[in-house]
Structure 1
Amino acid sequence: MSANGEERKPARPESREGVRGDRPTQKERGGAPAGAKGRPAARGGRERPAGGRDPGGHHWYYGIHAVRAALQNPRRTCHLLLATKQALERLGRAVERPGLEIRIVSPREVARVLPEGATHQGVALKVAPLPPVPLERILAIQGPRSLFLMLDQITDPRNMGAILRTAVAMGVNAVVVQERRSAELNGACARAAAGAVDMIPVVEVVNLTRALLRLKEAGYRVTGLDAEAPTPIEALADAPRRVLVFGSEGSGIRRLVGETCDELARITTDPRMESLNVSVAAGIALYVVRRVLPRTGTAAAPEPQAVPAS
C-alpha cells in the first residue's frame, strides 16, 4: 500500500527489511561506492565517519539550523562544537551550554569529521543520540486533539528528515517508527530536518502493529495512505485523535500494519505522474488533516505538546 502512487506490490510480512526504493545512498551513509575497499578518507588520511557517526556511537550534526536546535534541546547531550568564526556568530547564545567544548576551526577542518560532500555551513556538533521516549509517556501528555505519524520502513535519512520538518510545521504531536527498520537520526537526517529532529518526539517501538492497537485503545483513528484506496483523503471525516500511517516508496504499508488501520485513503494525483516522494505525500496529507478536515469539526487543532525534559 502506498501513499504516493506506486504500483501496489504483493503483501509482505512485517519482518521484511526496508525496500530498495527508500534505502539511503552511499553518500548519505558516508560510505564508499560499491566495490571500493574501505570508506573514503579525509585529507591527511583520516577516515570519514559513516553517516556522520563517530566510532563511539555519537553523531556529528551539521548545518546551522540542525546544530542550533540540538544545542537548544535540554534532552540532547552535546560534546564538541567545531565552528568557523562566522558560524559561531550565527549560532549566538545557543552555544552557551555547560560542559560544551568549542573549537574555532577552518571549513576544511569541519569537513574532516563529516561524510564526503556534506554541506555543513561551517559548523559540526558532536552529539549523543537522544534518550528513548516511551509511547506511554507521550500518550499521557496528549490533549483532546492529537495527531501522530507512523512511518513503516522509511529508511532513507533525508526522507525521514524532510518528513520530520513538515511534521513540526504542521503541528504533529509525535512520530512513531520501528526500532530496527527505520532511518537513523544521523547528521544527514538532521540536516534535511533543519532542526526538527530536536523539536518533535520520535518514538521507537518494537512492533508497529502492537503500537497501533495501543493507539486505538487510546482513542486514535488510524488512517493508512494507499494509492489504491477508494476514498480520497480530503473526503475523510474529521477525527480529534488520528494516526496517519505511511509506508516506503517501493512497497508501501506492510500487510499486518495495513490490516490494523481503521481506514485507507489516497492522495489523488494527475495520471501523468504515477508517484510522489514519500516526504511530499506526507506533507500533502498532513496539510489536509490539519488544515482542511478540522473545518468540519468543533475545535481547531492545538499546538503540539512538548516532551518533558528528562
Structure 2
Amino acid sequence: MGYKLHQMQKSINNLQQTMETGFNKVETRLNNLDNKMSQGFNVVVEGLNHLNNRLNVVSGQLAYLYLLVQDNREKQENLGKAISNIHKMMLIKEICTLQAELEDLRRFPDESPRLALKTATNTRLFLSSQAMQSTPQLEAELLLNTDVSIQGWAVATATEAHLLLQMGQHQEAKGILREEVEKFKTLAHNWGNSLIKEDNSSLSTAYRFSASPFAEYITPERVTRIKDISPSDLSLDRDQVRRRKNEANVEFEMSYAQERYPKSWIQQQIAIAEYLDGLSELLARLESLEAFADLCQSRNLKSSKEILPDENTPSGLYLLPAN
C-alpha cells in the first residue's frame, strides 16, 4: 500500500509539473502578445493600460475553453454568455469607480477634483476603446455590452469636461470634447448605417420608421433624431424625403407585406429605432456640451459654476445668454 501511495504521489507531482510548464508557456505567449499590442501607443493613461492588458489576458486564458466544448453547441452558447458577463462586469466596474469618485466629491466639495478628474479620464479612455472595437451587429448580447460601453463613455466624457470647465480649463475641455464628439459621431454613423440597411432598398432608410406599421410606436421626433445619424438620409432634400416615405408606405401596402414583414420583424424594427434614438440623443448631448464649453471660454469665466444654477435653484429649464 505504501508503494502504491508513493507511486501515486509521484504521478501527481509529474502531472503538476507538466501543468505548471504548460501554464508558464501560455503566460509567456500572452505576455508577448500584450507587448506587441502595446507598441504603437505613444500616450496611454496608466490605469487604462493596466485594464486593457488584464482584459486581453482574461480573453486569452478563456479562449481555450471553446476548444473543450467545440462539439457541443449549447455549451458553446453558455460559455459565450459567461464570458460576455465577465466583460460586462468589467465595464460596469469602471462606471461604478467613476460614480464613487463623484459621490466623494459631492460629500467633500472643498477637496480638489483632480482625483475624480483622473478617474473620469481613465474611464473615458477605457470605455471608448471598448465601444469603438465593437462591430455593429443586430445581436442582443453585443448590443447590451456595447450600450454599456457607449453610455459609460458619454457620461465619463461629460463628467471630465464639466470638471475641467469648473476649474477654468476651457481649452482643455474643448479639446477633449472635439475629439470625443468626432469619435462618437463616427460610431453612431457606423451603427446607423448597419442597423438601418435593408436588402429592400425601399426600406433601407430611417424614414421607414415613419410608415404606418410604426405609427403607434415611433414618433416623428424619434424618426428625425434617427435620421441625424443615418449618413444616407442626411443629404436628402425635401422631395427626396417625401419619395422615401412614399416608397416605404407602398412596400407595406403590398399584398405580400404581411407575410414578408410579420409581427416579429415589426418588433425588431421598433427595438432598432429605440437603440438608434438613444445613440442620437447621446451625441446631441455631447455636442451641446461642446457649445457650452465655447460659451464659457468666450465669456472668460473662471469657473462654469458662475453661470450654472446652484444646488438651491428650483429644477426647470434655464436659458444661458450668449452675451
| Structure with the bigger percentage of strand | 1
Q: Which structure has the larger Rg over C-alpha atoms?
A: 2
**Per chain length, whose mean CA-contact separation is higher, i.e. which structure has more relative contact order (CA < 8 Å, sep 6+)?**
1
| Structure with the bigger percentage of helix | 2
- TM superposition score normalised by structure 1: 0.22
- TM superposition score normalised by structure 2: 0.21
